[in-house]
Structure 1
Amino acid sequence: MKADPRDQQRLLDLQAIDTRAAQLDRARSKLPVLARLEELARTRMLANDDVVSAQTEHGDLEREVTKAEADVQLVRDRAARDQAHLDSGRGTAKELTALQHEMASLARRQSELEEIELDVMERAEAAEMELARARTQLAQVDAQISEARAERDEQQADLGAQLAEALAPRDALVAELPEDLVALYEKLRASHGGLGAAMLHARRCLGCQLELNAADMTRIRDAAADEVLRCEECSRILVRTAESGL
């Protein structure tokens, strides 16, 4: 392939644009805040699990409290009816004596149920405090996520602006270069890690960083100025400049 030496050298300008753009694009995808957001997402999942667990525990205990209160009230109502019966004086002495025994039994049962009720209420109160703590923790994580997202958006927007600025001259530059030269460059760039053209600098290919041997240097010296050369090691377009050491 033939191309004006000046066009070949301008490939280095195009490569510099593409290299800078690739660096910015990579930086945008490798922002430290992105890793922090992933970690916060895992933290939030655990915090949310804690909230769900605490809600379940609190709900179960609330139902236990309701049942315990109902059990105590049931005994109280029964004791109140028995007391009313006793106070009325109706019934035989045997019946009244039986009611007195039942009331004593109900008093013991009420005491037992009130202890159960108190225990359940204390556990429910502790569960409510735990639920509040879990919700606070979740809210704190959500706040950290919101802050990190804002930081991510700001940084990505800044890098996006830099990327747009870096790419701004590319289309005009490509339009001024021979189509076949650009096509070869793009093909090599796609298959060689984003680097399609490299300078020959002081006998070294700056694409693969290998120093050319004497035979390769002789071949390059003997090549016509408009010959598009390729590095024998990495196959990239090898651009000759005043710094090539020829």
Structure 2
Amino acid sequence: MKLDRSLQHVLLELATTERVLNAGADSTTPEQKEYERLQGELARMREAAGSAQLAVDDMETEILRIQEDERKLQRRERDDKAQLTAETDPDRRKDLEHDRYATKSRLTDIHYELKEAHNEIHALRNNRDVHGAHVSDLERKVEVAARAAEAANEAAANINPREKADELRSQLPADVIAAYEDRQDENDVGVAAFNGRVCGGCFIQLPSADRSRINLAPENELPTCPNCESFLVRS
């Protein structure tokens, strides 16, 4: 079917409007759907940001524990050293030297643990900051989407779908309306959008050869879907 490019989206809007009328479909505005989608995304991102902050808090607690262990071992090493200065009993000196050696070994391990913990908390803080930035960005998007949804919903409330369909029909040639109605009777869709890959009538991703045929069709032609045979309006 041939139709001027400037009228193809009028036909698509007519088909969409009449599907809403005929099927009692969801009349939620696209702006409202986008607002709700962003709200869900924001909720998930806030949860992820909370988990990222919790990981930072846990690691900070772990670092404090390691630092406290380090201080205890340092005090123990100094105490052993002081006792060795005054101790003359060979057995007692041997025990103190052994304890001091074990303490120094443990301090070496503690230093490595502390270094690894500092490296890890640096990465965790970066992750937390990234999530925080995403939350802030989504909050701004939700705010904008909320205003858009409110305006779209107010506008939609003042539009009678039947009157809108009649007005759209008045813009289209009679032969196009007849062909659209015939196809609509056959598959309950008639006309659907095509995004370059997927048919908006049957929601099937088309094979490469069919996609090429549709995309390369003349601008004033409405190609058909090989599956549901809906006329396709290319985006």
TM-score of the superposition, structure 2-length normalised? 0.52
1:218 aligned partner: none
Q: Hey, what's the Cα distance between the residues in 2 that align with 1:85 and 1:59?
A: 39
Is residue 138 of structure 1 aligned with residue 135 of structure 2?
yes
1:67 aligned partner: 65
Q: Give the secondary structure class of the aligned counterpart of 1:52.
A: helix
Shift of 1:31: 2.6
Q: Name the count of aligned residue pairs.
A: 143
Summarize deviations over 1:150-181 as a string: whole Å, max 9, x none. 22233445566xx3xx99xxxxxxxxxxxxxx
1:93 aligned partner: 90
Shift of 1:94: 2.8
1:152 aligned partner: 149
Structure 2: tracts of 5 or more residues without a match = 1-20, 164-180, 182-235
1:111 aligned partner: 108
Q: Give the secondary structure class of the aligned counterpart of 1:30.
A: coil
Q: Hey, what's the Cα distance between the residues in 2 that align with 1:37 and 1:109?
A: 56
Q: 2:118 aligns with which of 118, 121, 124?
A: 121
Q: Contact 2:84/2:93 (CA < 8 Å) preserved in 1?
A: yes
2:77 aligned partner: 79
Q: 2:42 aligns with which of 19, 41, 44?
A: 44
Q: Hey, what's the Cα distance between the residues in 1 that align with 2:62 and 2:87?
A: 38
Q: Hey, what's the Cα distance between the residues in 2 that align with 1:78 and 1:41?
A: 56
| Paired AA for residue 106 in structure 2 | R
- Give runs of ≥4 in structure 1 deviating > 6 Å: none
Q: Give the secondary structure class of the aligned counterpart of 1:97.
A: helix
Q: Hey, what's the Cα distance between the residues in 1 that align with 2:152 and 2:40?
A: 22
Summarize deviations over 1:48-92 as a string: whole Å, max 9, x none. 2211221222222122112111221211111111122223x2442
Summarize deviations over 1:175-232 as a string: whole Å, max 9, x none. xxxxxxxxxxxxxxxxxx979xxxxxxxxxxxxx9xxxxxxxxxxxxxxxxxxxxxxx
Is residue 32 of structure 1 aligned with residue 5 of structure 2?
no
Structure 1: tracts of 5 or more residues without a match = 1-22, 168-192, 196-208, 210-246
Q: Hey, what's the Cα distance between the residues in 2 that align with 1:152 and 1:91?
A: 86
| Paired AA for residue 151 in structure 2 | E
Q: Contact 2:59/2:117 (CA < 8 Å) preserved in 1?
A: yes
| Paired AA for residue 86 in structure 1 | L
